[in-house]
Amino acid sequence: MRPASGWWPLFPAAALVIAAIVSLPILAVVSNLFTGSGVVWAGLIDRILSVYVVNTLVLLAGVAVVAGTIGTGTAWLVTMCEFPGRRYMEWLLLLPFAAPAYVIAYAYTDFLEFAGPLQTFLRDLTGWGRHDYWFPEIRSTPGAIAMLSLVLYPYVYLLARNAFLSQSVQALGVARSLGLGPWSAFARVAVPMARPGIAAGLALALMETLADFGTVEFFGVQTFTTGIYRTWFIRGSPEGAAQLANILLIFALAVILLERGSRGRARYVTGTGRFQPLPRFVLGGIRAWTAFLATLLPVLLGFVVPVSLLLELSFASGDSMPFAAFMTYAGNSVLVAGLAAVLAVAAALTLGYAARLAAGPLTIGAARISSMGYAIPGSVIAVGILVPLAWFDNRLDALMKAAFGVSTGLLLTGSIAALLLAYVVRFLAVAYNSTDAGLARVTPAMDGASRTLGHSPFSTLTEIHAPLLRGSLLTGGLLVFVDVLKELPATLLVRPFNFETLATRTWRLAADERLAEASTAALAIVLAGVLPVILLSGRIARSRPGTRP
């Protein structure tokens, strides 16, 4: 039922405007498929396109195997097995979420490279020379797979754990009555039933792999994200960068389609509709401690070790720049992250409330379109913003020169406004999911009662819904805030000239091989990333077997 007030059309109209703004960067990239020069395509194909394709496919396959194995295996252990420390490992396994892959890549490189502490210790201990021993090269494709997998497996872990918690007690009970042990039940019953959740977690991990720039750039692995940056800023070819962005967009869409195809029409339900306590396999002796070590190892490698290395580097040397200058970079990060979080939450609330007021194809479609940015790599969104803004600035500059003899330069390209737009397009889905979940918990009867009392939709939103949604809005805003702090490719491509954030400061120092100096900014990013982990750990603590997660 539509509200009688004249306010109600404004929210659906605003939702459509938001959807149009979010879709513009993607449409700008796709338009280059039809307007791009064949010469640019030929040059890309002749030079390096095949290398980008092969390296990207290898990265995707490697991360799928490693992150999928770690995430699914640890989720099964903490959900369906009883062993020492299990309750702590449930939330400790989320800690690698706090660290971007490029940050732990810098930490491990400093520790494992030829001049690093580990190899230096081995040479001092054995007297070996440079050519007397073999040591795996961290800055390589396998190294990139390892770094990405260590921070992305929590996506698989979270969704696989939820899937295992939701499984039928009867089905698992039958598996036990047939004499199946923990691993047989895992392989033959639990994994097939949890396939939709595992596939969704893998899809998120693979999208983040496609979007990664800092790790692959530092390790010298040529992928589409590094190619977009180099083609635009080093080769000076925006058109070529847009063509590469199109291919990367195709990869992202392929991941989404594969995830949906892997689920197929699978629907798994409990036998009774009631969630009963899941019967855990009680592990003892060596099996119990093996399970503990298997869940502890990803936490150590993905968080404890790299953070310890960063702490050691930071205290030993750290960033040599004055404290005031460092705080300027931190302030820049907080400024853009805070503004982006506010804008994303406001847009998410508008979308969710519009769908509540006037549920229909337009408002629901607007919400879905606005949420697709999270599946698009930041470098693609950056190109989609820069291309039309550069076109507009150049046309305006030419017009002003012809009419008044005044050059306007680049007004929008490389501005804070453009950077905020990139962040909102990229992370609006994060705020929307939290806001939409909060709105779903508010009974529609409250809207009806508010209308009966003469409240307009706007006053209903501000006086009734907003206080009830405070937790959801704060959660969504916090998640966007931290994601923006860690975002590297979009920041590098769209930021104003000489505008540094913690992420760009870390990347620039690491690119100059000044890893010890980069440790301070990197550590600040990781510490900020711990905040959403605390939120997620609270949800983990509340979603025990026997309850809906």
SS3 82: strand
pTM over 0.95: no
Q: Which residue has the higher pLDDT, 333 or 5?
A: 333
Q: Which residue has the higher pLDDT, 269 or 339?
A: 339
Per-domain boundaries in the chain: 7-36+320-511, 38-316+538-549
Two structure tokens written together for 482: 């931290």
Write down the pLDDT at residue 461.
74
Write down the pLDDT at residue 270.
46
Contact (CB, 8 A) for 531 and 508: no
Tens digit of pLDDT for each residue in 234-255? 777 777 888 888 888 888 888 8
Residue 80 banded pLDDT, cuts 50, 70, 90? confident
Range 7-36+320-511 has CATH code 1.10.3720.10: yes
Closest-CA residue to 375 (of 506, 482, 250, 518): 250
Write down the pLDDT at residue 335.
94
> What is each CA distance from 288 to 70, 78, 185, 367, in whole angstroms?
17, 11, 17, 46
Residue 422 banded pLDDT, cuts 50, 70, 90? very high
Tens digit of pLDDT for each residue in 21-79? 888 888 888 887 666 555 555 556 656 788 999 999 999 999 999 999 999 999 989 98
- Locus of tokens 């490389």: 414
Can you give the C-alpha Rg of the chain in angstroms? 25
Q: Which residue has the higher pLDDT, 17 or 454?
A: 17
Helix, strand, coil percentages (3-state) for the chain, rounded to 5, are 75, 0, 20
pLDDT tops 70 at residue 103: yes
Q: Would you say the CATH fold of 38-316+538-549 matches that of 7-36+320-511?
A: yes
Residue 163 banded pLDDT, cuts 50, 70, 90? confident
pLDDT tops 70 at residue 114: yes
- For residue 276, give the DSSP letter: P
Question: Where does 38-316+538-549 sit in CATH, by number?
Answer: 1.10.3720.10
Write down the pLDDT at residue 100.
92
Element holding 345 (H helix, E strand): helix 323-357
Two structure tokens written together for 45: 């194909």
pLDDT tops 60 at residue 274: no
Residue 304 banded pLDDT, cuts 50, 70, 90? very high
**547: CB partners within 8 A, 6+ apart:** 275
Two structure tokens written together for 463: 């006086």
- Burial of 489 (C-beta count, 10 Å sphere; 0-12/13-18/19+): buried
